[in-house]
Structure 1
Amino acid sequence: MIPGIAELARGRLPSPAATDDGNEWVAGLGWLYCGQRWTRVLWISPARVAGTQAPMYACGTCIGE
């Protein structure tokens, strides 16, 4: 089971995202709440709009939000 999902199943919030958590963080633009600032980001899913698809990235703060 995915660690964050396990925490949610137990009624707890998952740990905040961190750049040393074993995931593949890259330098790039965040696409969520931070207003697309250049920082360390993590691919979270493809975004699909009007028949087109693009990768969506978020920083640790936005993932925690």
Structure 2
Amino acid sequence: MPAVDRPWRDTWPRPARPGDGNAWLTGSCWLYCRRAGVPVLWVGSVTTPGAKGDVYACGTCLAELDHIVRLQAHGRDEAGALPCGHRRIERRGGKAYCAGCKRQVYL
């Protein structure tokens, strides 16, 4: 089934995990678990008032972060930031549109 025909939760790519072809290193997870000596992936940089650093996360913490972001996005949809939640997508002229409110959706 094409991504445009699936619910928004199904169209997002899966979060990164070891063995997926990304540049995983062995190191310390900077996110939730803070474990050392585990496969981690660089996810971005952070700037604090005193320093800058690179943030690395393990697969489990990346999955948790992905889950939190999806819930937040879904919450915005439900709260009315997106009037109908764009639950059903349809194709017209090579572009994706919400079947409910008819607005163009960028996938």
Q: Under TM normalisation by the shorter chain, which class is it?
A: 0.7 to 0.9
- Match of residue 21 from structure 1: 20
Q: Percent identity?
A: 44
Instruction: List, as ranges, runs of 4+ consecutive aligned residues in structure 1 with deviation greater than 3 Å.
Output: none
Structure showing greater relative contact order (alpha-carbon pairs closer than 8 Å, 6 or more residues apart): 1
Secondary structure of 1:21's match? coil
Alpha carbons 1:17, 1:61 under 8 Å: kept: no
Scaled by the length of structure 2, the TM-score of the pair is 0.47
Query: By percentage of residues, which structure has more helix?
Result: 2
Deviation at 1:15, TM superposition (A): 1.4
Unpaired stretches in structure 1, ≥5 consecutive residues: 1-5
The aligned amino acid for 2:48 is: V
Larger Rg: 2
The number of aligned residues is: 57
**RMSD value over aligned CA atoms?**
2.0
Aligned equivalents of 2:22, 2:34: Cα separation in 1: 22
The aligned runs of 1:48-59 (5 Å cut-off) are: 48-59=47-58
| TM-score of the two chains, using structure 1 as the length reference | 0.73
